[in-house]
Structure 1
Amino acid sequence: MLLVKRTINYIVLTAFFLSIYSVLQAQENSPYSRYGLGDLYPNQSIASRAMGGITAAYNDGQTLNADNPATYGDIRSYNNGGMVTFDVGTSIDSRTLHSVNPVLKYNSANFIPSYILIGLPLSKKHWGLVAGLRPMTRVNYSIQSPGRIPADTLENLYEGSGGVNQAFVGIGKRWGGFSIGANGGYLFGRKEISTKTIFLNDSVRYNSGNVAEQQNFGGLFAAVGTQVNIKLGTKTDSLSKIKSTYSLRLGVAGMFKQNINVTSDKLNETFTYDANGAVVAQDTVWYHPDVNGKVVLPTTFNAGFMIVDQQSLLGIATDYKWMAGAEISVGKWGDEYHYPDKSEPLTNSWMLRAGVQFVPSLFSASGGFFGHAIYRAGFYTGNDYVRADGNDLKVTAFTFGAGFRTRKFNSYSNQSTVINTAFEIGRRGTNVNNITENFFKFSVGLSLSDIWFIKRKYD
C-alpha cells in the first residue's frame, strides 16, 4: 500500500510539472534565437549549473546527470530494494539586451521549466536507468527596425517562437572504475519565424507584407558517455576515524552527427491589421505547405576531469567531502549543421567550464543545517554557435549555489531529499557585437530519493 501511495504521489507531481512545462515556455526576447535551432538551453542538472555547468566527469550518486549516461550505473541500490530518484528543475531568467545601432535597451524576466527526470537501479550489479524530458533549444524574439524607401517610411518586424525538446531513456553500467552509458529518444518541436514589412504610408499607399515559415521537427537521436575512476590514494584520520579516498575521474560524453526530419510551411502574403490589432490576410503571393527535408545535427561532445575526496565513517556512511574539476565542450555547428536550402551564420562553438563542490561538516553532528549543506561555485567562458554580425559571440559567466539536505541520507534512513540552487551572472557578446545580453539566472531543483520495489520478507 505504501508503494502504491508513493507511486501515485510521484505521478501527480510529474503531471503537475508536465502541465507547467507545456504551458510556460521561455518568453525572453533573444534575437540570436532566430538562427539555427534557436538558443541552446542549459539542460545540466541544477547542481552542475552551480559548478559552471560541468557534467563530463561529475557524479555524486544523488544527482541525476543526464548529460553523461555513464553515471547511471552509480544510482544507489540496496539488498531489499532500489533507490529511485525523482529530479525536477526550473529557472528564472532575467536579462537585459543592449543594442548599439539603434541605441536600444530591453529587459525581461521569465520562468522557464528545465527538466523532469526519474532514475532507478536495474540491479545490484551497477546497472541504472534514467528517463526524462527536457528542452534542447528555445526560440523567442520580437524586434522592430525602422527603414525607408524613396517614397515612404517603413518598419520591419522580426518575430519568432518555439523550440526543440528531448524525450529520452538512458541506461548505464559500471564495472569497477569504468562506466559506460547511452541515451536514446525522440527530438521534437517547432520553430515559427516571420518578417513583416509595414509601410507607414506617408505619401503612397502600399500593402504590408509578411514572409513566414513554420518548421516542425521530429526524429530519433542517440548520445553516449563514459567515465573512468582512477584511485589516487587513501588517508584515515586517527581521531575521527574518517577515511578519505582520493580519486581522479575522467569523463567524455556527446552526440555524433545525425539527421532529424523537418516539415516546413512557407508563406508570402500581404496583410493588414484589424481594429483589435490582429493580422488579416489580404492576398497570398505564394504558399508552399508540407515541404519535407532533413536537418543535420552536428557532432557535440564534452571532455573533462574531476579530483574527488570520497569519505566514509566506520565503513557505514559514505559521501563526498569535496570535488573540483574542469572540462571543454565543442559543437561543430559551423562545419556540420545543415538546414535544407538555407545558409545561416553559424560557427563551431566551444566552452571551457570549471567548478568546485564542498561540504563543511560531512559527518559532524554539530555542523547544523548549513554545515551539512553542499556549497558549489564555478565559471564558464567560450564562443556561442551563432555568428550573426560576422563577429564571434563570446559568453562568460560566474556561477555559485548550494544544495540543502532537508532529510540527510544515513544508515538508518533510506530516504534523502536535496534542494539544489544555482545562480549564474554573465554576459553574451562583447563590444564588437551590435547586440549584447547581460543575464542573471536563478535555478532551483528538487532531488527526491526513496526505496521502491522492496522485496517482502514477511506477510
Structure 2
Amino acid sequence: MIKKILFAFILLSTSVIIAQRNNSSPYSFFGLGEEFSSTTVEQSSMGGIGVAFKTDHYLNFINPAANANLRFATYGIGGLMTDLTLKESSGEQSGSATSLRYIALGFPIGDKAGFSAGLQPQSSVGYALLNQKYDADDNLTEFTRFTGTGGTSRLYGAFGIEVLKGLSLGVEASFVFGTVDNDILNQREGLALGTKNEETTRVRGGLYKVGMQYQKELSNKLQLNAGVSVQLESNLTEKNQAYLYSLSFDGSGFEIPRDTLSASSTVTTFNIPLKTNLGVGLGKRDKWYAGVNYEFQDALDNNSAIGSTYMYGESNKLAIGGFYLPKINSISSYWNRITYRAGLRFEDTGLLVDGSGNGNNFTPIKDFGINVGLGLPLGNRASNINIGLEYGQRGTTDNNLIQENYFNFRLSLSLNDIWFKKRQID
C-alpha cells in the first residue's frame, strides 16, 4: 500500500515540476535561461560537493558511479524557496520564487550495483525587463518590455557498479525537453499601434554522463575518496516559431492584437560542450567528511545568441564543504544524531554581458554562495528531513548591469527502505 501511495505521489510531483514557474532572475533572459546545478539538498548544503563522496543511503546526482554504493531503496524529493534582491545603479527591487527541484528514486541491484532515475528542472526562464526612453523635457517617448517564461527539464536514468574493490564506474542518460516563451513589446509616442514579437522555442535532446569513484581505506578508519564525472558533448535541437504583429490597448490597458506583420519558423542547435567534474575527499564513515570539487567547461556555442548583447566563455566552479555527525546511533541525545553540513561555492558562470549594448564591453557574470544545512533523522531508520540555507551573490552593478543578492531555503525528504529482500521463515 505504501509503495502505491509513493507511486501516485511521484506522478503528481512530476506534473508540478514540468508546469511550474521557478525563476525571477533577469539573467534568465539569456540563452535557455538560468541553468540549475544537479545536486540534492544534502550536496547543496555542502557547497555542491559530491563527485567523490560514497554513501549507501543518499542519492547522488553529480556522479552516476555513486549508485554502486546504494544499499537501500531511496526516494528523494526536494524543493527550493528563493528570496531575491536586485540592485542596479538607480535602485533595487525584490522578488521571490518557490519550486520543486527534483524527485528521484534509487535502489540497489545485488551487492555491487545500483540504479536511480528521476526528474529535475534543467534550466529556467522567468524575467520581466522594461527599457524606457525620454526626450530632453523628460517626457516618455518610447518603452520596450521584455518578458520570458518556461524552461527545460531532464528525465534521467543512472547506473553504477563496483568493478574492483573500492573502484566503481557509472553511466547516465538524460532526455532534456521543455518550452521557452520570449516576448518583446514596443510602443512609441505618436503611433496609434505598438508592435509585439512573440517567440516560442521548443527544446529536445539527450545528455550523457560517465563517472568513476575510488575509495582507499587508510589507518585510523580514515577513508580517502577520489572521483570524476564527465558530461559528454551534445547538441540540443531548438524549434523556433516567431510572430510579429501590431496591437493596440483598450482603456484598461489590455492588449488588442491587430495585424500579423511577419511569421517565421526555424530549427537551430544549442551546443553543450564537454563538462568535467573532479573531486577528492577525506573522512570517517558516518562521522565526518571534507571534500573539494572543481568543475570546468568550454564555452557554450548557441547559434541564436545575440552577439551585441551577450556571449559565452569558459565556465568553472570550485566547491568546498563537508559534514559532521556526532554519533549516528546515539540513544540519549537526538542532537547527536543530526548531520551538520557547511560549504562554499565560487563560480564563473561563463556568461558575459554587455550592459551598454555596444558589443565591445563584456562583463563576466560570477556567482558565490555560502551554505549551511542540517540532516534531521526520522525514527531509527536512515531516512532524513534535510534543511539547507544559502546566501549568495550573482553579477555586478558595473557596466550598467544588475547584481543579485539571494537567500535560498532548501528542504528535502530522503526516505530509505529495504526492497527485494526474501522473507526469512524460522
The alignment yields a C-alpha RMSD, in angstroms, of: 2.0
| AA of the residue aligned to 1:358 | Y
- Identity score, percent: 25
Give the aligned residue type for 1:259.
Answer: N
**Residues in 1 aligned to 2:207 and 2:19: alpha-carbon distance in whole angstroms:** 25
Matches within 5 A, 1:384-423: 384-389=349-354, 390-409=362-381, 416-423=382-389
The amino acid that maps onto 1:128 is G
Structure 2 CA distance for partners of 1:87 and 1:147, relative to 1, 3 Å = same
How far does residue 177 in structure 1 lie from its aligned partner after superposition? 0.9
Partner of 1:362, secondary structure, is coil
Report how far residue 331 of structure 1 moved: 2.4
Distance in 2 of aligned mates of 1:275 and 1:450: 61
How many Å separate the matches in 2 of 1:188 and 1:277? 34
Q: After TM superposition, list the pairs within 5 Å mapping 1:169-188 onto structure 2.
A: 169-174=157-162, 175-188=164-177
Which residue of structure 1 aligns with residue 152 of structure 2? 164
How far is the alpha carbon of 1:19 from its aligned partner?
3.6
The counterpart of 1:378, out of the listed 339, 343, 349, is 343
How far apart, in 2, do the equivalents of 1:432 and 1:230 lie? 47
* 2:77 paired residue number: 88
Q: Which residue of 1 aligns with 2:359?
A: none
Whether the aligned pair in 1 keeps the contact of 2:132 and 2:140 (CA below 8 Å) is: no
Say which of 93, 105, 108 aligns to 2:95. Answer: 108
Structure 1 residues not aligned, in runs of 5+: 77-82, 236-244, 311-319, 410-415
Out of 109, 121, 127, the residue aligned to residue 122 of structure 1 is 109
2:271 aligned with 1:296: yes
What is the TM-score of this pair, normalised by structure 1? 0.86
In structure 2, the CA distance between the partners of 1:248 and 1:457, relative to structure 1 (3 Å rule), is closer
How far did residue 169 of structure 1 move? 0.9
Within the candidate set 86, 89, 105, 1:97 is matched to 86
Q: Which has the larger displacement, 62-71 or 428-437?
A: 428-437
Report what 2:290 is aligned to. Answer: 324
1:13 aligns with 2:12: no
What residue identity is the alignment partner of 1:153?
T
Alignment check: 8 A CA contact 2:369 2:391 kept:
yes
Q: What displacement does 1:341 show?
A: 7.5
In 2: Cα distance, 1:375 partner to 1:163 partner: 33
Structure 2 counterpart SS, 1:452: coil
The alpha-carbon deviation at position 17 of structure 1 amounts to: 1.9
In structure 2, the residue corresponding to 1:114 is in which secondary structure?
A: strand
- Number of aligned pairs? 413
- DSSP 3-state at the match of 2:364: coil
**Alpha carbons 2:88, 2:397 under 8 Å: kept:** no
What residue number does 1:348 align with? Answer: 314
The answer as to whether partners of 2:171 and 2:210 remain within 8 angstroms in 1 is yes
Residue in 2 that maps onto 1:225: 211
Please say if 1:359 is aligned against 2:325. yes
Secondary structure (helix, strand or coil) at the match of 2:383 reads strand
TM-superposed CA distance for 1:58, in Å, is: 2.2
- Deviations along 1:298-337, whole A, 9 cap, x unmatched? 2222111110112xxxxxxxxx2000011111122x2x42
Q: Cα distance, 1:152 vs. partner?
A: 6.9
| Residue in structure 1 matched with residue 181 of structure 2 by the alignment | 192
Q: Which residue number corresponds to residue 74 of structure 1?
A: 69
Q: Which residue matches 1:269? A: 245
Identify the residue that residue 305 of structure 1 maps to in structure 2.
280
What residue number does 2:36 align with?
41
* Aligned counterpart, 1:428: 394
Following the alignment from structure 1 to structure 2, what is the Cα–Cα distance between the partners of residues 401 and 255? 28
SS of residue in 2 equivalent to 1:392 = strand
Q: Tell me the TM-score normalised to structure 2 length.
A: 0.92
- Please list the CA deviations of residues 133-184 of structure 1 after superposition, one character each: whole Å capped at 9, or x if unmatched: 0011100000111114799701110111111110011111113111111111
Deviations 1:60-80 (Å, cap 9, x if unpaired)?
22110022100000000xxxx
- Equivalent residue letter for 1:92: M
Is contact 1:35-1:345 (8 Å) kept?
Answer: no
Q: Secondary structure at the match of 2:5?
A: helix
Instruction: Say whether residues 1:450 and 2:423 are aligned partners.
Output: no
Q: Secondary structure at the match of 1:43?
A: coil
Q: Of 61, 67, 83, which residue of structure 1 is paired with 2:56?
A: 61
Q: In structure 2, how many angstroms separate the alpha carbons of the residues matched to 1:23 and 1:231?
A: 46
Give the distance between the partners of 1:309 and 1:458, measured in 2 at CA: 36
| 8 A Cα contact 2:18 2:153, kept in partner | no
Report the 3-state secondary structure (helix = DSSP H, G, I; strand = E; otherwise coil) of the residue aligned with 1:53.
Answer: coil
> CA separation in 1, counterparts of 2:134 and 2:31?
29
| DSSP 3-state at the match of 2:52 | coil
Separation (CA, whole Å) in 2 of partners of 1:9 and 1:352? 40
Residues 372-427 of structure 1: CA deviation (Å, up to 9, x unaligned):
10000011112122211211112111100010111234xxxxxx311111111011
1:255 aligns with 2:222: no
Runs (4+) of structure 1 exceeding 6 A deviation are 149-152
Q: Is the 1:43–1:114 Cα contact (8 Å) retained in structure 2?
A: no
The CA distance in 1 between the partners of 2:117 and 2:277, in whole Å, is: 21
Q: State the AA in 1 paired with 2:51.
A: A
Letter in 2 for 1:378: G
Residue 33 of structure 1 and its aligned partner are, at CA, apart by: 0.8
| Contact map agreement 1:32 1:386 (CA 8 A) in 2 | no
1:210 aligns with 2:196: yes
Shift of 1:292: 1.9
Residues 1:52 and 2:38 aligned together: no
8 Å Cα contact 1:66/1:130 also seen in 2: no
How far apart are residue 207 of structure 1 and its match?
Answer: 2.2
